[in-house]
């Protein structure tokens, strides 16, 4: 059972080339190489749409523990957020939103599942770059797309289905 007060979901990209096969265990190695305690994300979504989590036996941060995914955005953010990392985010070394449809489908369903569990306030599903802008941290393109309008657009695709959050769409 989770006892953290989670009120934001932060979407990230791994800053790896589109089409390369990486996962939670790779991120765990990269983060440990930097001297960290391991993979700082709660979820990793591979190119085929597979969602990796600690609950499924992968090298991810347990959901009941604070993540380590928002860098220099300021104290407290890791305690109150869930970090989701999409594998990819680069094409020929440049930021790119070239994620697979399977990844984006999985991201959408995962966000909805997390909202059902934590009742995330409207507008609090954001990209890392949005949090960076809010906190004046060093700029990054992560996750290489604008999460809020993407989520509104995805909700609109599911006409007749319950949206992510009734207060989220206008």
* pLDDT tens readout for residues 132-150: 999 999 999 999 999 999 9
Residue 85: what pLDDT?
A: 98
- What residues contact 137, with CB distance under 8 A and at least 6 apart? 71, 72, 73, 74, 131
Q: Is 92 a catalytic residue?
A: no
- Choose the catalytic residue: 8, 31, 41, 73: 41
Domain positions in the chain are 8-157
Among residues 55, 51, 24, the alpha carbon closest in space to that of 40 is found at 24
pTM: 0.91
Look up the CATH architecture of domain 8-157. Answer: 3-Layer(aba) Sandwich (3.40)
- Choose the catalytic residue: 12, 31, 58, 69: 12
Residue 170: what pLDDT?
A: 32
pLDDT average, residue stretch 73-82:
93
> What is the number of H-type helices and E-type strands within the chain?
4, 8
Q: Is 128 a catalytic residue?
A: yes
Residue 161: what pLDDT?
A: 53
Decide if pLDDT at 11 tops 50: yes
């Amino acid at each position: 059972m989770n006892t953290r007060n989670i009120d934001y979901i932060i979407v990230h990209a791994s800053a790896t080339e589109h089409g390369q096969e990486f996962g939670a265990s790779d991120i765990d190695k990269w983060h440990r190489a930097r001297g960290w305690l391991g993979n700082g994300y709660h979820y990793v979504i591979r190119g085929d749409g597979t969602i990796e989590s600690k609950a499924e036996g992968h090298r991810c941060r347990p959901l009941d523990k604070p993540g380590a995914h928002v860098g220099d955005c300021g104290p407290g953010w890791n305690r109150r957020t869930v970090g989701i990392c999409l594998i990819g985010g680069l094409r020929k070394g440049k930021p790119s939103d070239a994620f697979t449809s399977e990844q984006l489908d999985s991201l959408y369903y995962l966000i909805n599942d997390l909202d059902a569990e934590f009742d995330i306030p409207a507008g609090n599903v954001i990209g890392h770059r949005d949090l960076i802008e809010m906190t004046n941290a060093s700029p990054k393109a992560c996750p290489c797309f604008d999460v809020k309008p993407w989520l509104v657009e995805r909700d609109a695709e599911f006409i007749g289905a319950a949206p992510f959050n009734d207060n989220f769409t206008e």
